[in-house]
Amino acid sequence: LEEDPRIARQVPMELLEKMRIQGDVIVRRAEPSQPDENAPWLLDITGPDMSLLIGRRGETLNALQYIARLITSRRLQRRANIIVDAGGYKSQRSQRLRQLAKRMADQAVQQSRTIYLEPMPPNERRIIHLALRDREDVETRSTGEGDTRKVTIVPK
């Protein structure tokens, strides 16, 4: 496991160089979403212009993470458990999604009606589900197909 963070850092550094984007990669363990889970490595890219890496609604950042995982996995000869972030975008987005989940759950209970959230990628839907899993007054479901898949919050 000692080579995991070294190789995981090396790959995005090479990609940044090829993209001609200045930046540095800080590697640390992310928080596990479940107690017995092996926490992923978080690669936080810092630099002068992170908006180029983030892209519209984080799409470029997600693509960069996908490519970095593929290359890192190939070099390690096993699945690489890494998350690529730029300027803390994903951690801030995660925090905003948890706040949104709680607000919408309260609204669903208060109005006694199902709330439909905007379509979002699987990792963001997961944040919503995890944020509300301990609430006994609502349940969450993912509905739709492909890019239109969204979370619904249903009062019990």
Tens digit of each residue's pLDDT (9 = 90 or more) over 95-141: 999 999 999 999 999 999 999 999 998 889 999 999 999 999 999 99
Q: In this model, does residue 148 exceed pLDDT 60? A: yes
Higher pLDDT, 150 or 57: 150
How many angstroms separate the CA atoms of 19 and 26, rounded? 18
> Minimal CA–CA distance to 87: which of 119, 55, 63?
55
pTM (whole model) above 0.85: no
